[in-house]
Amino acid sequence: MSLRKAIDDKCKECIYCPLSKGTWRQQVADCASTQCPLYDVRPKSNAKKQGG
């Protein structure tokens, strides 16, 4: 597994709620945990291309 995918998967597992608004990428992009070590490298919203 690439680091990129590992980080993506971690953030998705961490914050994504299917019942909340937006795709998982949008929800991760909206993460407010600036103290998290992954904050600066978290996946950013690219929902149009990725389709959620």
Binding residues vs ligand SF4 (CB under 6 A): 10-11, 14-15, 28, 31, 33, 36, 38-39, 42
Tokens of 22: 């937006």
CB of residue 44 to ligand SF4, shortest distance in Å? 11
Q: How many residues does the chain have?
A: 52
CB of residue 48 to ligand SF4, shortest distance in Å? 21
CB of residue 10 to ligand SF4, shortest distance in Å? 5
SS3 category, 17? coil
What phi and psi values does residue 27 have, to the nearest 5 degrees? -65, -40
